Chains A and B, each alone.
Chain A
Amino acid sequence: MLEESLRLGKSITAILNSEEQDELDFSKNWNSHVVKIGITGGSGAGKSSFINQLAKRFLESGFSIAILLIDPTSRLTGGALLADRVQLDSELSSRKIFTRSLATRKASDGLPERIIPILHFLENQNFDLIFIETIGIGQDSIAIRDVSEILITLPSGDVGDILQFFKIGVFEVSDYIFFNKSDLLDGEKTVKTENIISEYLSTKQWDDRQPPLAFYGNTIHGDGIDEIFQSLHEGIQERFKHAKL
C-alpha cells in the first residue's frame, strides 16, 4: 500500500497548494458509486472513535475506505494540532485505510480549504466509502451536509433540554443521530435524553424529509455500533444497486 499512500498523500498536498478556484456548484457531479459519510458533533463527542468502529466493520465487509480527519487551524498562529488519528486503530488506519488529517486553514465553516476538489479527487481513486470527520461544532455548522450523502451527528454529553434540539441546525439535516457514551450518564439521565430525542423526532415537522434515525451506544466499548452499522450497510447496498442501473 506504500506506493499508493505516497501518491495519494502527494496529490492531496498538490490540491491544497494549487491556486485554482473551487467549483462553486458542488452539489453536482459526485460519483454515484462512492458514498461519503459525514460525521459531525461537538468536540469530545467521540467522532473519531465512532469512525474507527464503523470503518472496522465496513472493511470486514469488503469495502475500500478513505478517511479525512479535520481539525481547526489556530486563528492566532496558523498552526494546527491534528490528533484524531490517535483514536484510530493504527494498523487499520495506516495499512488498510487511506487516512489524511486536514487543517481548516482559512476556511470558516468547519471544513478545510479545498475540500471539494479533494473529495472529487478521492472519489476517482477506487474507494467505496469516504468518511469525513468535521471539527467539533456548535449549533450552526452544516456545510458538511452539502458534501456527504449520509450525515451522522453525535451530540456531546448532556444534551440539555428539548429547546436545544429545536435550535441546533445540524440535527434537522442529519440522517442519523448517534448518542454516544449513553451508558456513562446515570439511568435517569439516559432515559431523559432518550425521551428528549424521541419527543424531538416526533414533534418536529419533517414534511417529505425522512427524520434522522436515533441510535444509542458507546464507541469505546462498541455498544450500539452493530445496530447503526447494519442500518448504514443496508442503505448503502441499496444505493449502490440504484447507482449501477
Chain B
Amino acid sequence: MKEFRRDLNMQNCRVLIAKIGLDGHDRGARIIMSFLKDNGFEVIYSGLHNTPSQIIEISAQEDVQALGVSILSGSHLESMRVLLPMVREVFGDKFLVFLGGVIPSKDHQALMDLGVDRVFGHEETLSDLVLWLKNEVSKRGLVN
C-alpha cells in the first residue's frame, strides 16, 4: 500500500464538526467534512440540533483538538456567547474553534473577541480552511 499523502500525521488530529441549535441546514458542513477527510483528518460529525453542553461532552468523549461550528440560523453571536466560555474553561487555549455558515462580516470581530480562532466567510476556499488548520495544529503542537 502507498504511504498516506500527508506531511503531518493528520490522523492524530481529530476535528468535530457541529451543528448548534435550531438550524437544519448541513449541506455546507457535509462538504467541509468530506474535504477534511480527503486531507487526512479524522472528522466526527455531531448531527443536527445540539446544545452547547452536548457539544462540549462530545468534544470530550471524542478527544478532538479542533471544533468547527456551522451556523446558518443567524444565532451565531448568541450561541458563541454560551459555547465559547465553556470551551475555554474545559479545554483551554490548546483547542481550536472555527466558524462557518452564513456569518455577516460585521460580526467577525465580535466573534473573535469572544474567543473564536477563525471565522470563514463565503469568499474563502476549502483549501484556505485546510491550510489554516494544518498551520495552527502544528504551531500550537496539537498533534503528537
Which of B12, B38, B56, B57 is A77 in contact with, Cβ under 8 Å?
B38
Is the C-beta of A78 less than 8 angstroms from some C-beta in chain B?
A: yes
> Cβ of B54: which chain A residues have Cβ within 8 Å of it?
90-91, 94-95
Task: Give the Cβ gap from A150 to chain B, nearest Cβ, in Å.
Answer: 24
The CA-CA distance from A90 to B45 in the complex, in Å, is 11
Task: Give the Cβ gap from A89 to chain B, nearest Cβ, in Å.
Answer: 10
Given contacts A9-B62, A79-B41, contact A105 B56 (CB under 8 A): no
Contact between chains at A78 and B6 (CB < 8 Å): yes
Task: Give the Cβ gap from A82 to chain B, nearest Cβ, in Å.
Answer: 5
Is the C-beta of B144 less than 8 angstroms from some C-beta in chain A?
A: yes
> Cβ of A77: which chain B residues have Cβ within 8 Å of it?
4-6, 37-40
Task: Select the residue from A90, A95, A100 with max chain B CB neighbours within 10 A.
Answer: A90
> Cβ of B58: which chain A residues have Cβ within 8 Å of it?
85, 93-94, 99
Chain A interface size band reads: 35 or more
The CA-CA distance from A6 to B38 in the complex, in Å, is 28
Given contacts A77-B5, A86-B45, contact A100 B50 (CB under 8 A): no
Task: Give the Cβ gap from A76 to chain B, nearest Cβ, in Å.
Answer: 7
Residue of B nearest to A88 (CB): B47
User: Which A1-28 residues have a C-beta within 8 angstroms of B?
Assistant: 1-2, 5-6, 8-10, 12-13, 17
> Cβ of A8: which chain B residues have Cβ within 8 Å of it?
61
Contact between chains at B43 and A82 (CB < 8 Å): yes
Contact between chains at A81 and B37 (CB < 8 Å): yes
> Cβ of B6: which chain A residues have Cβ within 8 Å of it?
77-78
Contact between chains at A85 and B45 (CB < 8 Å): yes
User: Which A66-90 residues have a C-beta within 8 angstroms of B?
Assistant: 73-83, 85-88, 90
Given contacts A94-B58, A95-B54, A100-B61, contact A78 B40 (CB under 8 A): yes
Which of A1, A76, A87, A105 is B57 in contact with, Cβ under 8 Å?
A1
Residue of A nearest to B144 (CB): A17
Is the C-beta of B131 less than 8 angstroms from some C-beta in chain A?
A: no
The CA-CA distance from A90 to B52 in the complex, in Å, is 12
Task: Select the residue from A10, A85, A88 with max chain B CB neighbours within 10 A.
Answer: A85
Is the C-beta of A154 less than 8 angstroms from some C-beta in chain B?
A: no
Is the C-beta of A98 less than 8 angstroms from some C-beta in chain B?
A: yes
Contact between chains at A6 and B46 (CB < 8 Å): no
Task: Give the Cβ gap from B23 to chain A, nearest Cβ, in Å.
Answer: 14
> Cβ of A99: which chain B residues have Cβ within 8 Å of it?
58, 61
Given contacts A5-B60, A78-B40, contact A85 B34 (CB under 8 A): no
A residues within 8 Å of B by Cβ? 1-2, 5-6, 8-10, 12-13, 17, 73-83, 85-88, 90-91, 93-95, 98-101, 103, 105
Q: Can you name 6 A-B pairs with beta carbons within 8 Å?
A: A2-B57, A10-B63, A75-B1, A79-B11, A90-B47, A90-B49
Sorted nearest first, the 6 A-B pairs with minimum C-beta distance are A78-B4, A86-B47, A9-B63, A5-B60, A79-B37, A94-B57
